[in-house]
A = this chain, B = another copy of it.
Amino acid sequence: MSISMRPSQALRLWQQVMLSQVRGGEPDLTMRQTAILLTIYLDPPPHTVRGLAARLNVTKPVITRALDTMGALKLVSRHRDELDKRNVLVRRTVEGALFVERFGDGIVVRAHELPI
């Protein structure tokens, strides 16, 4: 059974979640950064710069810079791949897992609060 919603409900949900994030002072991530973060936390590892760039259809420097920023925020971490030292493996962090978990819970709450 899939999830059904009308476009007006979908937009209202998005607005409420965005407002709660902004008002709560959470990091002001871009859509690209959000896509990268959620891909790292939802898709099975390993995650490489190249793989993420292909998944998002963006260039590699876009991934590098997003990892710089989210790394500074402790949302993800980087580690050299010991088997193929050209690769960088992107890993989850405790802080990032908590952030994503809170984010998901927030969506659920806002969805529940939606008017009919």
On whether the beta carbons of B112 and A11 are closer than 8 Å, the reply is no
Known: A3-B9, A13-B3, A31-B29. A19 touches B107 (CB 8 A): no
Task: Judge if A44 is at the interface, Cβ distance under 8 Å.
Answer: no
On whether the beta carbons of B18 and A104 are closer than 8 Å, the reply is no
On whether the beta carbons of A38 and B11 are closer than 8 Å, the reply is yes
Task: Judge if A56 is at the interface, Cβ distance under 8 Å.
Answer: yes
Q: Give the CA-CA distance A85 to B38 in the complex, in Å.
A: 44
**Could you say which of A20-28, A72-80, A86-94 contacts chain B?**
A20-28
Counting from the closest, the 7 A-B pairs by CB-CB distance are A7-B104, A10-B107, A15-B38, A18-B35, A11-B104, A3-B111, A23-B57
